Amino acid sequence: MPDGQTVLITGAGQGLGAAIARHLHGLGDRLILMDVNPARLDETLADCPGAVGAVVDLSDAADTARAIARTVTGPVDTLIHNAAILRVEPVEQVSLATFQATMNVGIQAAFQLTQAVWPAMKARGGTLIFVSSRSGIEGFVDETAYCAAKHALEGFSKCLAMEGAGHGIVSVTITPGMFMHTPMSETTYGPDARAKWVDPIRLAPAFARLSASRPAHLSGQRLNAWDLSQPETSL
């Protein structure tokens, strides 16, 4: 196994999560990768030899607990909770099942994963990175469930930053900061945004920098992955 940090990434089968996994693997980190799609997770694992993978439905608390028990067998240095559900629907068409699944993946899984890595982080420090979006501070038409989940994640991270301050635990939310080409954005971006989108691999350096440096002065803040991925940007 490589000599780097141990990093747990959710939503690692495609899009931003897969890009982060490939980037961190190239830097020598040990990876725990979770995704709901077995085929897509296998593709990422094939590119990250030595990584541990778990197919898991993060909307299901019991399945999430099982995946954690199987994979989190030692200290985790960095948690990157990237998985999310976004279904663009008018509120009167959103089913209770969709609303609950969106909230569960967004915040329930964040809670379960954080509790799993927290004891070791209290002993040795750590970094919690929660992928958010503009939907975490703004409202958007037809995104009631997604916005609610991201707003919850913002508040959760702020609390963790305060609780972890005395233990060397950094907690941040991070937005892409740039239109990126992912399976999710293919369902939501219009022509103008698609003309500007970039491969998510270009945002991955931000996550590597946060994981490696654990910047205490940024804990509790909402960060921009595009800006932090630029070599001239200092932490």
List, by residue number, the catalytic residues: 146
CB atoms within 10 A of CB 124: 11
Give the chain's length. Answer: 235
174 and 154 in contact (C-beta within 8 Å)? no
Angle (nearest 5°) at CA 38 between 9 and 30: 30
**Exposed/middle/buried for 60, CB within 10 Å: 0-12, 13-18, 19+?**
middle
Residues in contact with 104: Cβ distance below 8 Å, sequence separation at least 6, in sequence order? 58, 59, 60, 61
Which two structure tokens, joined as six digits, stand for 182? 């992912």
